Amino acid sequence: MSAPRTVTVQTGDHGPVTLDEPFWCTGVHPPVDCRSDIVHDGEESALVIETPCHGPVRVAAAALLQYPFGLRDRQVRVLVEFDELHEYDAATLAVLADSLVAYAVGPLHGLIERLQLLEGGDGS
């Protein structure tokens, strides 16, 4: 069994802060002003849709994240980001719907399972 990973993040209010690094975190931790702004980010799963007007467009992304020193919430969550509005005809709307279904049963479902496991444990 390997020892837990740790990371040290430079903060403006507490100096260098060393904390445990969750297995799912990408390990990118830039300096922050406040210790409460330290964030663990998981690998992003992006949904890219072919649009008639712009070609391939990243319209949604989801990833695990946690603010281990958050002032309100320290739980592991999934951050979902969506893009701007795009117009579709019937054929391209069908492609969008198929892409959303594939996203929901693939990467997003995997994040649901991982989040459920993390919610049952200590989140690290």
Q: Is 40:19 a contact under the CB 8 Å cutoff? A: no
Inform me whether the pLDDT recorded for 9 exceeds 70. yes
Token output for 87 = 């117009």
Token output for 86 = 């795009």
User: What's residue 17's pLDDT?
Assistant: 98
Domain boundaries along the sequence of the chain: 6-120
What confidence tens digit (pLDDT) does each residue in 38-92 have?
A: 999 999 999 898 888 999 988 889 999 999 999 988 999 999 888 777 778 889 8
Q: Is 64:78 a contact under the CB 8 Å cutoff? A: yes
Q: What pTM was estimated for this model as a whole?
A: 0.76
Query: How many angstroms separate the CA atoms of 81 and 108, rounded?
Result: 12
User: What's residue 120's pLDDT?
Assistant: 85
Token output for 89 = 């005809």
